[in-house]
Structure formats: structure tokens, C-alpha cells
Amino acid sequence: MSGNNDSNHGPGTRVTAAGRRAEWTGTPGHPGAVVSPAVWRASTHLYPDMAALRAHPSNEDGNFYYGRRGAPTQWALADALTMLEPGAAGTVLYPSGVAAIAGVMLTVLRPGDVLLMTDNAYEPSRVMGRGLLHDFGIETRWFDPLDPDAFAAAICQRTRAVLIECPGSLTMDVCDVPRLAAIARARGVISVIDNTWASPLGFAPLKHGVDIAVMSLTKHVGGHSDAMMGSASAGADWYRTLRLRAQGLGTVVSPDDASLMLRGLRTMDIRLQRTTASALALAQWLMQRPEVAHVLCPMLPGSPGHEIWRRDFTGGCGLFSFVMRGGTAAARDALIDALALFGIGYSWGGFESLATPVDPAPIRSASAWPPAGWDGEDRFGVRLAVGLEDPGDLIADLDGALATWRRQAGRNG
């Protein structure tokens, strides 16, 4: 769905206003009379007569034709996301974030192509390279996200696209996206970013030279851990191509889920402000703790990647990791088990806090983990998705869990 980007207003104003077109938020005869679009559950569009059916406009957004092309609920969400993404001409919705990544890859890549992927990419993206894309004759190669020269050197005749994840959603490495995007563009390589961590409120990929911005709406946009969806936003050319491929693949999202996403979107700015501030408070507290060797939080001064984050990003979120000083996997697991206010589960971006183990060593193939310069004993990590609870309560919970870790790791304290 296409729309005008209005980047003159602040993010709170923009998430409040985005996508609320009068024609999609009306009651009969009263355009714009309700605040949010209705849930239009519709597969079929009825035409008054044959002439109307024959005269139906071509394949355009905003013209109801058949359910697979969406209805006002989905259009309003896509339009809102386009308005929040500076440089985007349109947004395609997918049933999940992984479906968005797959949908984009199956649009830009052809058999025989090489895809380059940052080595910090989230595991399902890596699995897609080895599985789905491999089966379609596409070869995926990984590169060190912190080494733009390695990226440039990895580009060959067959390289068609690069998939960047920034920050890496486990290890939080912040790569130089403008530099990678510039290298890609100069060499005719299509750049795609998984921008789920920052969302367009924290990082504007297309303004930094990236061609296609993908997001799992399941995380920050939904915000309530009750719905799944993904999106891809791009300039006019890629938008049209992505949209046609999504139609060809038959990917649709339900109006009920689109309505949940729109509801979440309205509070996304205030939630991100809160979770960013809380994550920073927890990260600062953890940094002072002798049990903790490294805090991997892009918003934290002194944390790896903080300088690039400050240069390129306008916001953060509640997702960050830390690495214990030595210890064992069992001690780390006991720490997570001892947390009362953090659920144990994948995903993030919901209102509730979560914790998961971080063990990237086995999945990395082009960069070392633990990174060079670290004590190799320091490798048992924890990823926190900080929610909307009071940060003081979360810190007290972590304090108790660190005591459990000390007992398990045989440390006095």
C-alpha cells in the first residue's frame, strides 16, 4: 500500500496518525467517523453488474477485488508502516517475519545466484540459506558483519543480494549499514536488512542506502505477544515487484491480525521509549557486576558497536545480551531458571520480559565467537527482552538470579 511519508513530526505523533485514512475508518456515509478501521473479513467482492466487473481497475491497492489482495484493514496497516518508513513507496505484509524474509528472498534471487548474509543473522535466516534457498539453486555465503572489506571481497559475479541483520539479535553486533549498503549499491548487489530490532522508529534503512527493509511485526509492532506478522517496505520499483511475488505465492494476512498490529502500533513509540530506558538501566547495573564479563547493549556507552549505533540510530529497544565471567552452561541455565519476572521463551518485543540462553559459537561460520580479545572462558550468554515491568523489580530479580549463579558456579560472594 502506498502512502506519503511524513517525517516532519515526531515518532509519537507519526504512530498515532499513520494509516488512518478517512475512507478506511468510516461508517456508512461518514468517512473517518471511527478512529480505527473495522475488521473487514472478506474474501469476495460483489459487483453490481457485468459492466462493473469488466471495468474493475487493474491490480492496485485500495481497490477491493478479491480477498487475496487485502481489504481496508490490511491496507491501513501497510499504509501506516509505509508512512513510518522514510523513503518507502509501499509495504507488503506477510504472515510472519520469516515469511517476509522468504518472500523477499524469493523475489530478488534466481537460481545460480549467491546471497551474502551477515554472520550474526538469526538462526531461521541461516536455515533458510542452507535449506529453502539451497533447494532452489541459490548459494548462501556468510561474512563477518563488522568487516566491510570482507564483505566487498566476498562479492563475486554471481552475488545478487546481501541480507544484513543489525544489530544481530543474539550478539547485538552493530555493523556499518551505510557502508555495507554503499558497497552493495556500487557493485549492483541488492541490499536487504532485517530491521526488527530498531524498527523504523530507531533506524531508517532506506535513508541509509538499503533497498528493502524487512521487519517481524510479531515483536515491537504487535507488542503484546498475541499475533504474528512480517513486512517488507521499499521504494516504488521493489515494492511493485515484492507485491506481485507475494500475490504469486498467495501470502495473505488476516484482517483480525492486521487489526491487532494496528492497535499495537499506536503505542509502539511509548513502549520502545520505556523498554529502551529500562534495558539501559539493567545494562548499566549488570556492567558493574563482577559475575558479568561483557554487556552487549548497543545503547550502552562502552558496549561494542555503541559509537555506530549513536551515529546511525535514533532509538533502541529492550533486547540486549550479557555474557557471564566464566562459569558453566549449567550455571547460566540455573541463572535463567532463577528469574521470576522473566519468562523463558523465544521472541521479544512484547510487554512482558523474557530471557533465553545465548550460545552463538556453533552457528557462526565466518567470524569468531567469543570474539578475538575476549577470555575464551567468557562464553555463556543470556539474552534479555526487557518488557514494561518496573526496572527496579527486574534488577532485584537479576540480583537474586546472580546469587544462584554464584552458588552454581562455585563462586563465593
Ligand X SMILES: *Cc1c(COP(=O)(O)O)cnc(C)c1O
Minimum Å gap between C-beta 56 and ligand X is: 33
What would the grid cell of residue 67 be? 480477498
Using the minimum distance from each CB to ligand X, give the nearer residue, 99 or 331. 99
Residue (122 or 151) nearer to ligand X, CB: 122
- Give residue 330's region: left, alpha or beta (phi > 0; psi -120 to 50): alpha
Question: How many angstroms separate the first and last alpha carbons of the chain?
Answer: 58
97 or 318: CB nearest ligand X: 97
Q: Which residues lie across from 383 on neighbouring strands? A: 321, 356
| Cα separation values, 19 from 60, 77, 96, Å | 17, 6, 20
CA distance 395 to 402: 10
Neighbours of 130 (CB within 10 A): 10
Nearer to ligand X, 98 or 138 (CB): 98
- Contact in structure between 143 and 151 (CB atoms under 8 Å): yes
Nearer Cβ to ligand X, position 199 or 367? Answer: 199
Nearer to ligand X, 202 or 327 (CB): 202
By beta carbon distance, the residue nearest ligand X is 97
What is the Cα–Cα distance from 77 to 84, expressed in whole angstroms? Answer: 11
Apex CA 195: angle with CA 225 and CA 226, to 5°? 10
Dist. CA 364–CA 121, nearest whole Å: 9
How many other C-beta atoms can be found within 10 angstroms of the C-beta atom of residue 35? 9
CB atoms within 10 A of CB 249: 14
CB of 126 to ligand X, least distance (A): 11
Tell me the DSSP string of 119-185.
TT--HHHHHHIIIIIHHTT-EEEEE-TT-HHHHHHH--TTEEEEEEESS-TTT-----HHHHHHHHH
- Least Å distance, CB 167 to ligand X, is 9
Q: In this complex, which beta carbon is closest to ligand X, that of residue 162 or of residue 409?
A: 162
Catalytic residues: 68, 122, 194, 219
Tell me which residue has cell 461508517: 27
By the 8 A CB rule, do 255 and 71 touch?
A: yes
The rounded distance, in Å, linking the Cα atoms of 76 and 3 is 10
What is the nearest approach in angstroms of ligand X to the Cβ of residue 17? 25
CB 381, min distance to ligand X, A: 16
Distance CA 377, CA 324 (A): 9
Nearest distance, CB of residue 136 and ligand X, angstroms: 20
370 prior amide bond cis, ω within 30: yes
Task: Report the nearest approach of ligand X to the CB of residue 209 (Å).
Answer: 20
Residue 230 · residue 216 · CB < 8 Å: yes
Residue 122 or 203 having the CB closest to ligand X: 122
Site of interaction with ligand X (CB under 6 A): 96-98, 122, 165, 169, 194, 196, 216, 218-219, 228, 230
Query: Least distance to ligand X from the beta carbon of 228, Å?
Result: 5
